[in-house]
Structure 1
Amino acid sequence: MIDNPIFIIGTERSGSNLLRLILNTHSEICVPHPPHIFNYFGKLYGSYHDLNEIIFKKLSRDVCLLVNNHIHPWEIKVKSDSIAEKSRSRSLYGIYETIYDEYLNYSGKKRWGCKSTFMIEYIDEICKHVKEPKFLWLIRDVRDVAVSSKKSVFNPNHPYFVSKLWNEQQELGLAAEKKLPEDQILRVKYEDLIAKPHDTIQKITDFLGISFEEQMLTYYKTNTAQKGSNLSASWENTSKPIIKDNYMKFPDFLSKKEIELIEHISGSMLPEFGYEKYLSTNSISKISKFSVFGFKISDLLKRIQIELAASFKDKNYILFIKRRFIVKWLKLKSFIRNNFNKKGIKDE
């Protein structure tokens, strides 16, 4: 068990895979591709009710089912009984931590990190269990996040939903920044990481209390980087050197209406992170429920299009679909526990 794990938090499509691979190349740190345990179980956790030994083992079994069917397969399989037995707390975090400890033991390194950016929603829970967590708050211009999300199978695709999520997660980051000591949370701008990689990585390693290592700049040569690139088009850039001009893409890839929409939703937060509005005027005064319904339809149609393309291109698409069914099964069991278990109906 370690007391100073590393958490990359923020919003997806902000360079978290890039930062994960850079850190994973360090001789002391392992950052496996995340199975997003808290993202899938955070809202289901309460349905396990009283975590006696039997129910805790059920929780461990369900979490391990998700991990062992990860869309970016780990090199190890985790065993639910062993995870439950080794867990130092009877909680979801205890299982999560023990699974990462198992991977750390496999890696032979000293310290693990987690790239599940959704952990920005669970900072308080982390701090209940961890003595000295280190948070790397990764921030990227929301308009470029929207560009990247347009072609990703893992994210909302419509700029409206991208902007709403970005706002929520940056608000959580700002709240955490106010509560946590300065030596526990560090802002890392994606634009700085790609424009000044050496200086930015040096700043990160200083924050983490480790030495800078030159091989961190050649992360793309590692087997881990190549593996991710081959699995999904969403990760194709992981096997390439840093693309230093991969910012301010949105003027070329978003329409004026899309930029207006994003700046209407997120415009007030841009200055906080050093970004400026692109448009001098904005014709949007209010977003109606009817408009939001239209955005949902548009997002659904775009998702169908992207998933259809992924079914032909992505080598892990079958794993992606399998995970979807596993998550639906877990949600169904959660529903049964919450609504029928008192009547003696079992969830398995």
Structure 2
Amino acid sequence: MCSSSIKNTSPIFIFGSARSGTSLLSRIINSHPRISVPFESHLYDTFYPWLKYYGDLNLSKNRERLVDDILSIECMRDWSPRPDRECVLAEISQNNFAGIVDGLIRSWSISQGKKRWGEKTPAHAFFWREILSDFPKCKIIHIVRDGRDSSLSLKNARFGPKHYYHLAKAWVKYLKVIEALKSEVSRDSFYEVRYEDLLSNTDHKSREICDFIEEDFSEEMLSFYTNRNPYPTDKDNLRNLAKPIISSNSNKWKSSMSPRDLRIFESVAGPYLEAYGYETVMSHPNISSIEEVLIKYFEHPPKKILSMIKNRKGHIDGLRRLAIYTRLVITQ
């Protein structure tokens, strides 16, 4: 059922590098009776760079074309329930990209009986300036996890780097973006939580989050695992999200990373581990120039290629996006 009776309130954007606990955090917040957080949207990292191809969004035909393209990409097919085109168009209150983002996610929130929306796409951190320009009153929550644990998880995912050298580089790159964001926003707009602290003190951290987003705390947030709506993440992540908080789900790197893996990771990311309060174990770790060449050109490529071959979902998504982009360029 479409409705316009719910007032818009400041949106919540959840940032965190891949495998840092963004899914867990989004599920906790989504369990609040007033807030919905759908699956990843990839609106900014996919469509923001293409906006020039859609023309003047004051024209309804251009807005509709953009909405239709958004609804056709793979991640939109993962939302449950699928967004309703007519409801999305009805909820667009501004004839610009921000209005379309708001209309899409707000219409989905209304279908859930919620009054406020959140958004969780890790890649959107790289578009924080655009997001703040579009939603100057938004609340940003950043979750950070020990980079060795997040990299251990990401290494086994269908996407992302497959060598600890590149995993460490990616983790540091993400945190540099977050540091730039933190330097530009006020405390009222930005909240940071460590994944490990969320695991060990979920009740307290959930209450802090509610204070930050100016909502009353709800005990329902602690029962996030009872939500049986489909959530299209990998099997391991989905299995964990279907359980109460697993307080021991940290420091896995201590038993799973080899001394060489640790040396490589800490040589790249050691200062950032320490800056976020994580212990380092290697004394003056380093990578020689020869080893760096071996990693870049011999060790990592075969692993990455094999992962790409297996990533069927990524292939489908990539082809859908390529088709959209090709059509936009040709018809420009």
- For this structure pair, what is the TM-score category when the shorter chain's length is used for normalisation? 0.7 to 0.9
Of the three residues 2, 5, 10, the one matched with 2:8 is 2
The alignment status of 1:28 with 2:52, answered yes or no, reads: no
Give the CA deviation at 1:248. 1.0
Give the CA deviation at 1:52. 6.1
CA contact (8 A) 2:10 2:139 kept: yes
Give the CA deviation at 1:7. 0.7
Structure 2 letter corresponding to 1:62: D
- 2:206 is matched with 201
Structure 2 letter corresponding to 1:240: K
Give the CA deviation at 1:189. 0.5
CA contact (8 A) 1:14 1:190 kept: yes
- 2:105 is matched with 100
Give the CA deviation at 1:288. 4.0
The alignment status of 1:65 with 2:46, answered yes or no, reads: no
The alignment status of 1:152 with 2:157, answered yes or no, reads: yes
- 1:143 is matched with 148
Of the three residues 223, 226, 230, the one matched with 2:228 is 223
Secondary structure of 1:42's aligned partner: helix
- 1:269 is matched with 272
Tell me the distance in 2 between the aligned counterparts of 1:232 and 1:159: 22
- 1:13 is matched with 19
Secondary structure of 1:180's aligned partner: coil
Distance 1:134 1:43, change over 3 A: same
The alignment status of 1:211 with 2:216, answered yes or no, reads: yes
Higher mean C-alpha deviation, range 267-276 or range 188-197: 267-276
Distance 1:107 1:46, change over 3 A: same
Give the CA deviation at 1:329. 1.6
Tell me the distance in 2 between the aligned counterparts of 1:243 and 1:57: 43
CA contact (8 A) 1:5 1:134 kept: yes
Secondary structure of 2:245's aligned partner: coil
Tell me the distance in 1 between the aligned counterparts of 2:309 and 2:72: 29
**1:121-168 Cα distance to aligned partner (Å, 9 max, x none):** 122212222242101011011111111112212433332332222112
List alignment gaps of at least 5 residues for structure 1: 312-316
Distance 1:56 1:257, change over 3 A: same
CA contact (8 A) 1:66 1:326 kept: yes
Structure 2 letter corresponding to 1:189: R
Distance 1:95 1:264, change over 3 A: same
The alignment status of 1:328 with 2:322, answered yes or no, reads: yes
Tell me the distance in 1 between the aligned counterparts of 2:220 and 2:106: 24
The alignment status of 1:192 with 2:221, answered yes or no, reads: no
Structure 1 letter corresponding to 2:258: S
**1:282-305 Cα distance to aligned partner (Å, 9 max, x none):** 241446455312354143245157
The alignment status of 1:256 with 2:256, answered yes or no, reads: no
Calculate percent identity across the aligned residue pairs.
25
Tell me the distance in 1 between the aligned counterparts of 2:73 and 2:15: 21
Give the CA deviation at 1:96. 1.6
Question: Alignment RMSD, CA only?
Answer: 2.6
Of the three residues 87, 91, 97, the one matched with 2:92 is 87
Secondary structure of 1:137's aligned partner: strand
Distance 1:161 1:236, change over 3 A: farther
CA contact (8 A) 2:20 2:144 kept: yes
CA contact (8 A) 2:267 2:284 kept: no
- 1:38 is matched with 44
TM-score (norm 1): 0.84
Tell me the distance in 2 between the aligned counterparts of 1:295 and 1:219: 40
Tell me the distance in 1 between the aligned counterparts of 2:232 and 2:50: 31
Secondary structure of 1:38's aligned partner: helix
- 1:109 is matched with 114
